Structures are given as structure tokens and as C-alpha cells.
């Protein structure tokens, strides 16, 4: 958006009110990659300079992070942050361009802002919330621009330039909001009028257990449910990457490699995509395909007919939710990798109480108790102090000392409730991972 404002009048300012924008730079080099398209960054950089673009990218990210703190219901994961950054960063770069040129003169929303708006519409984030975030972000950006302008300019230019900053900033936001509202309402209308609503309704009914007319459900989904084997997958962005087609392409490739006869893809915003594949023959969930580096894949167990469709999806969703606990170096998580964890964490509050009850002071945070827990867990896996010492690369006497100290903290012998202690240690490791 080359100055998305101009839908009205241009700000009347003197000729050189914006050259200071090219002097914007961060105190230290930024290692934050832009989320805008490379061509957008290059075009704006050619006008205001690379340093000013870097300044804008850094401050846009900070503003987006503040938005998420204020509006946590929009999602706080890395992918949701990057989605929000699309709008904030593109608007920031557009405003910097307008500041440099001294006026607001073009009403076209950038692709990045439109992409973020599509994501918000599809995730049912309201226009009211969008406007509240824009106002918060605009106020923060204006404060930063005023401070930078005051620092980079001296009198007699300073006063006129500060006045120009406020005039252009408010002209910009008036015009920008008109275009955002137009784009949001247009996307909302397209979304509501499309088959997405019909498909979403049918899918939700099926997942909720409604099997009243599975033939009609299959027609609306364009996916046969009855007399078919099904496998459900959940794809997610685990690193910055391409926006619109990344997950869709990965899902199609995975299900084609699996040999699925039909494919059903259900985007859940930019960050997550549900995928289903069916076949008249049994499906093998180990088919050797691996997603791109920036994509995570959670795999449910294959199942038969409508009940199998639901069960496979439920397990894929659980595997996606718990993947961070077990993923390690792999981007693929099968339900069987986390089935015990799913059981243990069904009631997290009770699980935490169980850890405190079983481990006592051994559950306390800190490097010392963490080392003791690691030693006890290793010992309970083999019940051999020599093997434990070899695994941990410490002396056998050290292992013995740590085990005695752990027993003192627990309040009883490790062999008295060894199964409960091992499960509690496993849960403690997960809960401390959450806190980190």
C-alpha cells in the first residue's frame, strides 16, 4: 500500500518534512526477518532506505507482541504472531513511506494486510477487535515516530516536522481503516456465501457424532464417509515460511503419497490445517513421507466408517496439541507417541497434585533438584547403580549419594512406590518444560 490514505485529501505540508525518515535506524542490528513479501520490502527499502525498513520491522514486531498481550484470544503462538505481524508490518512500512513522501496518496491495501484480514475472518476474529488492535498499534507507532523525529531533527525544522507526523499519521489511519473495513466486510461476505459454511456445518455435525444422513454429509463435504477407511492429519507451521499454500501443498502431497482416494482439507487460519484421506482398503499410517522443515504433522490412527473418521481426527488433534512434549528432532507426531501422555494429562490439575504428592520437595524447581530427578528417573529405568552411573557419566558413589538425598526429599524408599515415582518424575519433567 503506497500510502493507503489518499481517499479524500492530501495533507498540506511543506516540501521537506520527511527526509528524516531515511535517517531512522536501530541502535543495534536487528536479526528479525520481515514477514512481508520480499518485493514489498525491496520496494519500500528503495524509497526510505534499508535502515528505515529494519527500524519499521523491529517496531512492528514489538507492537504486534503488545497486541497479543492485550488481546490473548487471537492466539499467542509463533504462527499467530507472524499472522498479526503481516498487517502491522505492512501498515508500518506504508506509513513510513507516507511520512517520507509528505502525504497520504494511495488507497490500495497491501497484499499482506489483506492476507491477515482473511485469516481473521476465517478465525471469527471480529472487526471490532481488529479496530481495537489497529488503534492500539497506531498510537504506539505514532509515539515512536514522534520520539524519533524529535531526536533526528533540530529547530527550526523540528516543530513543522512533528506537526507533519501527527497530520500524516491521522490522515493515514483514517484512510487505512476505511480500506480495512471494506476488505473485512468483503471477505466476510464471500466467506458466508461460500460453501465453506455448509461444509463447516456438516463437518462439525459429523465430528459431534451426528450420523443422521451420512450420504448428505458426504455430498456437502465432497468426501465419502461410509464404507471407507480414514486417516486424519493436522498440519501446522512450526517456523516462518510461505503463507497461503504451504500447509495445503504439504497436506496434498502427504495424502497422495499415502494413496488416499479422496482428500478433505480444512484450513484453520494460517497456522493450522486439518486434513483427511480415505480409501476402501486399510490405511498404513507409516508411509515414509515427511513434511517440509517448516511444517509439523500430527497423525491420528486410521479408522473405519464415520466412527473411525471421528476417532482418527480426535487423536490427530491430541497429537498436535501435545507434539511439543515429544517431537524432538522429528516434525511428525503419531498418536501412539503420546497416547500415555494424553491419558496422564487428561486432568492437568490432578496430575500436578500427583507430582507434588509423590515427589514432595523433590518436585521443587532448581538445577539441584533437576539433577536429582534425572538421576532417580534413570535409576528407576534400570534399577542398577552401575548402569545409572554409566548413563549419566558420573561415579557410582555419586549416584548412590544422589539417590539417598532424593529419598530424604521424598520421605520414603524409592523402591516403596517405584512405579508411582517414575510416572511422577515423567510428569514433573513435562511441567518444568511448560514453565521454561
pLDDT digits (tens, 9 = 90+) for 116-162: 999 999 888 999 999 999 999 999 999 999 999 999 998 888 999 99
Q: Which residues of 131-150 are buried (b: 16+ CB within 10 A; e: fewer)?
A: eebbeebbebbbebbeebbe
> What per-residue confidence (pLDDT) applies to 243?
55
Place of cell 481503516: 177
> What per-residue confidence (pLDDT) applies to 375?
95
Range 342-370 average pLDDT: 89
> What per-residue confidence (pLDDT) applies to 433?
56
Q: Phi first, then psi: what are they for 433, rounded to 5°?
A: -65, -40
pLDDT digits (tens, 9 = 90+) for 22-54: 999 998 888 899 999 999 999 999 999 999 999
- In this prediction the pTM is 0.55
What are the residues facing 272 on neighbouring strands? 236, 268
Using pLDDT thresholds of 50, 70 and 90, give the confidence band for residue 435: low
Q: Is the pLDDT of residue 5 over 70?
A: no
**Residues 225, 228, 229, 234: what is their CA dihedral angle, to the nearest 10 degrees?**
-30
Question: Could you state, in order of their start, the residue ranges of all structural domains in the chain?
Answer: 19-193, 226-338, 348-435
Pairing label, strands 295-299, 332-334 = parallel
Residues 6+ apart with CB under 8 A from 296: 235, 236, 237, 238, 320, 323, 327, 331, 332, 333
> What per-residue confidence (pLDDT) applies to 329?
64
Q: In 10 A of CB 210, how many CB atoms?
A: 13
3-state secondary structure of 268: strand
> What per-residue confidence (pLDDT) applies to 16?
78
Using pLDDT thresholds of 50, 70 and 90, give the confidence band for residue 251: very high
> What per-residue confidence (pLDDT) applies to 8?
41
Place of cell 517456523: 239
Q: For residues 88 and 136, what is the distance between their CA atoms, to the nearest angstrom?
A: 11
- Are 254 and 68 in contact by the 8 Å Cβ rule? The answer is no
Q: For residues 149 and 146, what is the distance between their CA atoms, to the nearest angstrom?
A: 5
3-state secondary structure of 18: coil
Residues recorded for the chain: 436
pLDDT digits (tens, 9 = 90+) for 396-406: 999 999 999 99
Domain 19-193 fold is Globin-like (1.10.490)
Q: Is the pLDDT of residue 11 over 80?
A: no
Q: Classify the C-alpha dihedral 246-249-252-258 as positive or negative.
A: negative
Q: Is the pLDDT of residue 65 over 70?
A: yes
> What per-residue confidence (pLDDT) applies to 6?
37
> What per-residue confidence (pLDDT) applies to 199?
84
- CATH number corresponding to 226-338: 3.30.70.2730
Q: Is the pLDDT of residue 196 over 80?
A: no
Q: For residues 314 and 300, what is the distance between their CA atoms, to the nearest angstrom?
A: 7
Range 427-431 average pLDDT: 85
Amino acid at each position: 500500500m503506497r500510502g493507503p490514505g489518499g481517499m479524500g485529501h492530501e495533507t498540506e505540508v511543506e516540501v521537506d518534512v520527511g527526509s528524516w525518515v531515511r535517517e531512522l535506524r536501530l541502535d543495534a542490528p536487528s536479526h528479525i526477518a520481515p514477514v512481508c513479501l520480499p518485493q514489498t520490502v525491496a520496494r519500500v527499502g528503495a524509497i526510505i532506505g534499508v535502515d528505515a525498513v529494519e527500524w519499521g520491522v523491529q517496531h512492528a514486531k514489538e507492537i504486534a507482541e503488545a497486541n497479543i498481550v492485550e488481546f490473548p484470544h487471537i492466539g499467542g503462538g509463533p504462527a499467530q504472531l507472524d499472522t498479526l505481524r503481516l498487517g502491522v508490518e505492512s501498515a508500518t512500512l506504508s506509513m513510513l513511506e507516507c511520512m517520507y513522501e509528505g502525504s497520504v496518496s494511495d488507497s490500495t491495501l497491501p497484499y499482506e494486510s489483506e492476507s491477515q484480514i482473511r485469516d481473521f475472518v476465517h478465525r471469527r476474529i471480529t472487526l471490532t477487535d481488529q479496530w481495537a488492535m489497529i488503534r492500539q498499534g497506531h498510537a504506539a507507532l505514532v509515539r515512536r515516530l514522534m520520539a524519533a523525529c524529535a531526536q533526528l531533527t533540530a529547530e527550526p525544522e523540528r516543530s513543522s516536522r512533528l506537526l507533519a507526523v501527527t497530520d500524516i499519521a491521522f490522515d493515514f489511519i483514517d484512510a487505512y481503516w476505511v480500506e480495512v473495513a471494506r476488505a473485512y466486510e468483503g471477505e466476510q461476505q464471500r466467506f458466508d456465501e461460500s460453501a465453506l459454511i455448509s461444509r463447516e456445518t456438516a463437518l462439525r455435525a459429523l465430528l459431534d457424532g451426528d450420523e443422521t444422513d451420512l450420504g448428505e454429509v458426504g455430498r456437502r463435504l465432497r468426501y465419502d464417509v461410509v464404507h471407507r477407511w480414514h486417516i486424519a492429519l493436522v498440519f501446522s507451521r512450526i517456523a516462518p515460511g510461505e503463507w497461503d499454500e504451504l500447509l495445503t501443498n504439504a497436506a496434498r502431497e502427504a495424502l497422495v503419497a499415502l494413496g488416499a482416494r479422496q482428500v478433505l482439507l480444512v484450513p484453520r487460519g494460517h497456522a493450522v490445517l486439518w486434513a483427511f484421506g480415505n480409501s476402501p482398503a486399510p490405511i498404513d499410517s507409516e508411509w515414509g513421507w515427511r513434511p517440509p522443515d517448516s511444517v509439523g504433522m500430527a497423525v491420528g490412527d486410521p479408522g473405519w466408517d464415520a466412527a473411525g473418521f471421528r476417532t482418527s481426527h480426535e487423536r490427530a488433534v491430541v497429537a498436535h496439541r501435545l507434539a511439543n512434549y515429544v517431537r524432538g528432532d522429528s516434525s511428525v507426531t503419531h498418536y501412539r507417541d503420546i497416547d500415555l501422555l494424553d491419558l496422564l494429562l487428561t486432568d492437568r490439575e490432578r496430575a500436578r497434585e500427583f507430582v507434588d504428592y509423590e515427589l514432595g520437595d523433590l518436585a521443587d524447581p532448581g538445577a539441584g533438584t533437576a539433577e536429582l530427578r534425572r538421576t532417580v528417573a534413570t535409576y528407576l529405568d534400570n534399577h542398577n547403580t552401575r548402569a545409572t552411573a554409566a548413563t549419566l557419566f558420573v561415579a557410582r558413589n555419586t549416584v548412590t549419594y544422589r539417590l539417598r538425598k532424593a529419598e530424604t526429599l521424598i520421605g520414603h524408599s524409592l523402591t516403596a512406590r517405584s512405579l508411582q515415582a517414575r510416572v511422577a518424575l515423567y510428569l514433573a519433567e513435562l511441567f518444568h518444560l511448560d514453565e521454561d
